[in-house]
Chain A
Amino acid sequence: MKKNKDSVIDYLCSVKLAIFLLIVLSVTSVFGTLIPQGEPLNFYQERFNPTFFNLIKLFRLYDAYNSWWFLTILNLFSVNLICCTLKRLPLTIKLLKKNILDTDAEKISRISMKKTIDITNNNDYSSKIKGILGNTKSKKLDDGSEIITSERGKINYLGVYILHSSILIIFLGGILGAILGFKGNLMLLEGEKSSRIINPRTSEEIPLGFEVRCDKFAVEFYDDGRMPKEFRSDLAIIDNNLEVLKTQIIVNKPLTYKGITFYQASYQSVPEISIEIEKKNNKKETLKLSAFDTINIPETSLSLGILQFLPDVHGVPAARIWISDGKNFTDAQWVIKGKSKVFGIGTEQEFKIYLSEVTEKFMTGLQVKKDPGVWIVWLGCAGLIFGFIVVFWIPHRRLWVLIKDNKILIAGQTNKNQFQFERDFDMICKKIEETAKV
């Protein structure tokens, strides 16, 4: 039984499992790129045959990367990473603690890359060699000989840990962002403000803790008149009834306030309709409102609203307007631009309504996000690259120089990139040889 348990643990720690999981991840990641993600279920029912639709439902292939099986693979991957690390760590610590001076003439002479130089004069080789190698350690042996050592890139042994833990740090950042952060949309008419946003998945409202106002939105086109060049929103932040910030955002230049970031995502153009109301006593009022808006008619207790707006009815805009006294509604009537219609609730309150002008008003579409985990993700990304460079481009190189009986023995070892090391080793040998000749 114990043996079985050990072999399970061994397998969890193995590179083989890592390779297997990487292959599984690359294969399973494909599904979500072939099947459109995040659509409502009936979308799939219409497009796929029943068997395949049932598979999609069973394995949540409509949201593959958040499905139980994909997260299981990712969890297993993390466990494997942690196990591999823990298993190798004692060995690495031993390697790190290993003192390069802890050697003798016998061991040095057994290293395969070495060179012997004959001493021909009485120079102080010890200090000269130390000067050439730089950053050396040395010890004198009982027989009067001396060992000088130098090493570089011990960090190489740590590289793989930096690299692997960085992947876990990225996961951690992602999880933290998902737990502590939120994402939502906000549509704001020019002049409008809001203190809450909508979560697009659940349609729930999320309070921001302050207000954001859109003062102006503009869209700029290239000369061809079709392709958008820039979307701009002038935003203001109102915190505790104080306007604390005013700034302009464009795509790729968001605004962040108190950890919440506002991105320019989309826009809509909303018609703004000017209406002239002529009361029975010939008094005229001009009102401005958007489609779906309701507005009070001044000096009355009546309200007026637009049920529907069409920008182009045989070339002319038209609005379907109603009036209400709070209890009763008039029939909604179509009013065409430049024409008027008579509306009435009772006989006293009769109005002539005239649609004088239609202008365009913009509504900016903002993507709003709070993600306290994002810096942890970036930290992980930096660590990943740094660790990778350390693993592959900072080799651990060791040099030993033994000065004994009119001979200098130079030996070297590296754990990566033997080819380059051989060239550098030859260079060092040449330099030491030159001092021996002087």
Chain B
Amino acid sequence: MDINSSLLLSLTTFVYLGAAFFYLLVWVFRLEKLGIAATLTATLGLFLQTTGIILRWIESYKIGIGHAPLSNLYESLVFFSWITILVYLFIEYRLKNRVIGAFSTPFASLAMAYASFSPNVEDTIKPLIPALKSNWLIAHVVTCFIGYASFAVACGVGIMYLLKKNESFKSSYLINSFPEIKALEDLNYQTIIFGFLWLSIGIITGAIWANEAWGTYWSWDPKETWSLITWFIYATALHVRFAKGWGGSKIAYFSIIGFFSVLFTYFGVNFLLSGLHSYGAK
């Protein structure tokens, strides 16, 4: 059997689902010994996926329409899941805590499962229309998705923070294994800051690209507007810290609302609204 990108990426889906399953076991049943297995599975998935993405890039050149694998919904989902796992593994390494894995690897595996199995997502390598043929494609998509992935992690951490803070869960051993409340609050805030920086760069690179392709850096296209709405929401979250008496819970809620806005910017706009980015739908 030939090894090609679709085989590797389909395999990745199952490996990530396995990793998410392990992380959940580690958390729910306190199977600390499975922790290493969870990390190894996630790392193996990351390796398979990285190889798959590179192969897909090479394959596109082989069929004469070479472009970075960042041009449609399928490819963006794959990239989103890749960067989410990468951000998560970095946090796991820094915090030495695997519980967050139970709240972030499911995002990555669901994205892969959706990309692989949904009939709405076309997974063949398609040529690029002239408007997409630009060096800004890579810069724009990569920066936006680093932002999206950080916000996914922030959302997961935000949920953990709210669970940990809730008095009625105090005695629950599920919640006790979470990192300290201070650490969760800090991580929630840090991932929002990190995501916000990349979202800002993503919006700016998009503006530069639009200016080069159409002569307008901002046209209030639904995708642009929704990315700005997302930006407003996280900007609010960052200012909440400076307003008196607004603590970690408010920021945690914002990180959850913000991620819904991210999801709408990412999917909702493509499926429900029309505009310049509608080619991203299929």
Hey, which bits of chain A sit against chain B, CB under 8 A? 15-16, 18-19, 22-23, 25-26, 29-30, 32-34, 37, 64-65, 174, 183, 222-224, 227-231, 250-254, 261, 263-265, 367-369, 371, 374, 377-378, 381, 384-385, 388-389, 392, 419
Q: Does B107 contact A (CB under 8 A)?
A: no
Contact present for B130 and A15 (CB under 8 Å): no
Contact present for B129 and A37 (CB under 8 Å): no
Q: Smallest Cβ distance from A245 to chain B, in angstroms?
A: 18
Contact present for B215 and A369 (CB under 8 Å): yes
- Sample 29 A-B pairs with CB under 8 A, ordered by A number: A15-B242, A23-B236, A25-B232, A26-B236, A32-B220, A33-B226, A33-B273, A64-B220, A222-B127, A227-B127, A229-B130, A251-B133, A251-B213, A252-B133, A252-B134, A252-B212, A252-B213, A264-B130, A265-B214, A367-B215, A368-B215, A378-B208, A381-B207, A384-B200, A384-B204, A385-B204, A388-B197, A392-B193, A392-B197
Contact present for B216 and A369 (CB under 8 Å): yes
Contact present for B225 and A254 (CB under 8 Å): no
Q: Does B121 contact A (CB under 8 A)?
A: no
Q: How far, in whole Å, are A385 and B231 apart by their CA atoms in the complex?
A: 13
Contact present for A22 and B130 (CB under 8 Å): no
Contact present for A251 and B222 (CB under 8 Å): no
Q: Smallest Cβ distance from A300 to chain B, in angstroms?
A: 46
Given contacts A223-B64, A251-B130, A369-B215, contact A32 B225 (CB under 8 A): yes
Q: Smallest Cβ distance from B223 to chain A, in angstroms?
A: 9
Q: How far, in whole Å, are A32 and B235 apart by their CA atoms in the complex?
A: 21
Q: Does B233 contact A (CB under 8 A)?
A: yes
Contact present for B215 and A252 (CB under 8 Å): no
For B130, the closest partner residue in chain A by CB is A251
Q: Does B243 contact A (CB under 8 A)?
A: yes
Q: Smallest Cβ distance from A26 to chain B, in angstroms?
A: 4
For A25, the closest partner residue in chain B by CB is B232
Q: Smallest Cβ distance from A377 to chain B, in angstroms?
A: 6
Q: Does B7 contact A (CB under 8 A)?
A: no
Contact present for B235 and A388 (CB under 8 Å): no
Q: How far, in whole Å, are A34 and B239 apart by their CA atoms in the complex?
A: 28
CB-defined contacts of B220 to chain A, threshold 8 Å: 32, 37, 64-65
The interface residues of chain B, by DSSP majority, are classed as helix
CB-defined contacts of A263 to chain B, threshold 8 Å: 213-215
Contact present for B197 and A389 (CB under 8 Å): yes
Those of B228-276 within 8 Å (CB) of chain A: 228-229, 232-233, 235-236, 239-240, 242-243, 261, 269, 273
Given contacts A369-B215, A385-B197, contact A33 B269 (CB under 8 A): yes
Those of B185-208 within 8 Å (CB) of chain A: 186, 193, 196-197, 200-201, 204, 207-208
CB-defined contacts of B209 to chain A, threshold 8 Å: 252
Q: Which of B196, B225, B243 contacts A29 (CB 8 A)?
A: B225
CB-defined contacts of A381 to chain B, threshold 8 Å: 204, 207
10 cross-chain pairs, A with B, having the tightest CB-CB distances, nearest first: A26-B232, A369-B215, A251-B130, A33-B222, A22-B236, A252-B134, A381-B204, A26-B229, A65-B220, A263-B215
Q: Smallest Cβ distance from A184 to chain B, in angstroms?
A: 10
Contact present for B240 and A19 (CB under 8 Å): yes
Contact present for B243 and A15 (CB under 8 Å): yes
